[in-house]
Structure 1
Amino acid sequence: MKLIASDLDGTLLDEEGVVSEENIAAIQKAVAHGIRFVVATGRSYDAANTPLKQAGITCPIISLNGAVAYTEDKQLIRTVPMDKSVAMQVLEVCREADMYLEFFTTNGIYSVSKKYFLEVLVDIMKSANPNASETEIREKAELRFQAEPVQFIADYDELFAIENLEIYKILAFSLDKEKLASARAQLSGVAGMAITSSGDINLEFNHRDAQKGIALKHLAESMGIDMVDVMAMGDNWNDESMLRSAGRGVAMGNASDEIKALCSYTTKANYDHGVAFAIEEMLRTINA
């Protein structure tokens, strides 16, 4: 292996959104062996770089599912914006379904209702942490807007009037799985668009060429590395393209059975230092 690519949430980051000391040490060990490291995430660059910086990790970052890619010194090397007519179709369908939306653009993230999304997060966190107090849950929910600062506007239509604005990703949330399935079904035939998901309550819309696997291949080729020499780690459907295209696809222990079935390898869960376990196992294999 010559290059390791890792997703962030549910993969490299633990349940507190932190890179564990075990994962840090394993990455450093791989780099010492001459193996490059890159992060491929649905997050924006700044939201991705914050936990990496805290961990002392400097690396290329593929962000927004592959719509934007940066070198380790934050030089922009690739952008793949959505066609605005496609973005308008997504808006129409999701707005009709009363879904919470976020538009990731050249000017940052836009939405129309912080209150609605906070209530969605609170409902999710209450289910996952029934013993936590309302105050604790709301404090944690508010952190979402610190990790990804969102600009609130009166109406999504305003975005299409902003000159030179490019839309890289649309993130749609709903607690109603029937609405998610219906929106996916209605939009799945739209030309030039990729639909993925990073969780049970969302859909992610990108240009068809803005996928982690495509962006990772582009980055690897720029380094003179063939995809057969790439190990990719992930836990959800927005990781599918890179798990399939990498020579060594590794599913996290916390991934669904369907994601695990795509991969030749499964590691431990993200909260059990699964990235470190996968790297150590890979290093043992190549040194055998």
Structure 2
Amino acid sequence: MIKMIAIDLDGTLLNEENQVSKENLEAIKYAQTHGIEVVIATGRAHFDVQEIFKHTNIKPWIIAANGATIYQPNGERFHAQSINKQVALDILSWLEEEAFYYEVFSDHAIVTPQNGRELLTIEMDRAASANPELSVNELKRALEKQYSQFGFSFIESYTDLLDTDMGFYNILAFSFDEAKLSKGWAKFEGTQDLTIVKSAKHNFELEHKNASKGIALNILANKLKVNIDETAAVGDSFNDLSMLKIAGKSAAMGNAQQEIKDCCHEVTLSNKENGVAHFIYSLTKEVKK
């Protein structure tokens, strides 16, 4: 019997309008009333998740920043694993030298450079000019999705953070330049104290080596005295793999890439078709038609 389910947000629980559908909300409430602990497991910041659920009367456990933090339903932090400050500053220094847009997930804000959005607009125009077949609307939607997060705080440079005591939980780098992304991945892949993952086509994300959705799911299962075999997980992207691989029951979204689908026990419907709701009801053998 499944006692806990971890649900990714972007491309999974959220539809293409970056909203949680009525059907998915009803399914989450259904799961909770049937004794299943619902956990939102996302690369987003915990306060962003809280904003999304603010008017729903749903207060789930939150695995945030790709597993670097875990927050209780009452909003209190239960667990955190930050990147060493000097390591984080060195990363940000390199990203600025290479003209990357970046986001730093901290305790109370998503810190990002003041000129970051201008950099991405320039990259988008260059990408469109270099490849006329490229869908500009698709690129614009990617930006809208990135900017839709709650809690941005703008800085002039990473040097503004030299004297801060904030936690550096997740660093996201975003670019429309594939060569630049590949250079960034090569720069940080294999770094001893870091984990690097992709959560979308145009980014890579860095966390402490002991931070992942899978590690956090295991920590939370132990906290709630739930056997890992009694957990379920659903997601669509590569930053979900760590939890999809250890959960007792895993589902890839219909919109996930084939590599993600191949790692899961089953494939549910897409995020356009309320795939999360379909998976939840299937877990209780009461799939709604």
TM-score range, shorter chain: 0.7 to 0.9
Partners of 1:72 and 1:200 lie apart in 2 by 31
SS at match of 2:70: strand
Partner of 2:11: 10
2:135 matched residue in structure 1: 127
Query: Partners of 1:252 and 1:282 in 2: how far apart?
Result: 15
Distance 2:94 2:183 in 1: 9
Asked if the contact 1:93–1:186 (Cα under 8 Å) also holds between the matched residues in 2, the reply is: no
Take 2:162 and 2:261, find their aligned partners in 1: how far apart are those partners? 39
State the alpha-carbon separation in 1 of the partners of residues 181 and 148 from structure 2: 26
* 105-114 or 203-212, which deviates more: 105-114
Write out per-residue CA displacement over residues 58-88 of structure 1, whole angstroms, 9 at most, x where no aligned residue: 1111111111111101111001110123223
2:149 aligned residue: 147
Instruction: Give the TM-score, by structure 1 length.
Output: 0.88
Q: Contact conserved, 1:118 with 1:142, CA < 8 A, in 2?
A: no
Distance (whole Å) between structure 2 residues aligned to residue 45 and residue 110 of structure 1: 14
Cα shift readout 1:106-126 (whole Å, capped 9, x = no counterpart): 352222224326627976999
- Partner AA of 1:69 in structure 2: I
1:170 paired to 2:178: no
Structure richer in helix, relative to its length: 1
Contact 2:123/2:175 (CA < 8 Å) preserved in 1? no
CA contact (8 A) 2:101 2:117 kept: no
CA contact (8 A) 2:7 2:41 kept: yes
Which sections of structure 2, spanning at least 5 residues, go unmatched? Answer: 129-133
Cα distance in 1 for residues equivalent to 2:144 and 2:124: 10
Aligned-residue CA RMSD (Å): 2.6
1:244 aligns with 2:242: no
Q: Is the 8 A contact 1:63 1:69 kept in 2?
A: yes
Q: Is contact 2:42–2:63 with CA below 8 Å preserved after alignment?
A: yes
Q: Tell me, what secondary structure is at the counterpart of 1:148?
A: coil
Assess, with a 3 A threshold, how the Cα gap between structure 1 residues 283 and 122 changes in structure 2: closer, same or farther.
farther
Q: Is the Cα–Cα contact under 8 Å of residues 121 and 141 in structure 1 kept in the other structure?
A: no
Q: Which amino acid aligns with 1:108?
A: A
> Percent same amino acid among aligned pairs?
37
1:196 — aligned with what? 197
Work out the CA distance in 2 between the residues paired with 1:45 and 1:197. Answer: 19
Could you say what secondary structure the match of 2:250 adopts?
strand
**1:206 matched residue in structure 2:** 207
Distance 2:144 2:30 in 1: 36
Structure 1 equivalent of residue 55 of structure 2: 54
What does residue 158 of structure 1 align with? Answer: 160
**One-letter identity of the residue aligned with 2:240:** D
Gaps of 5+ in 1: 131-136
Q: Counterpart amino acid of 2:159?
A: D
Q: What is the CA-CA distance between 1:28 and the residue it aligns to? A: 1.9
Tell me, yes or no, if the aligned pair for 2:18 and 2:145 is still in contact at 8 Å: no
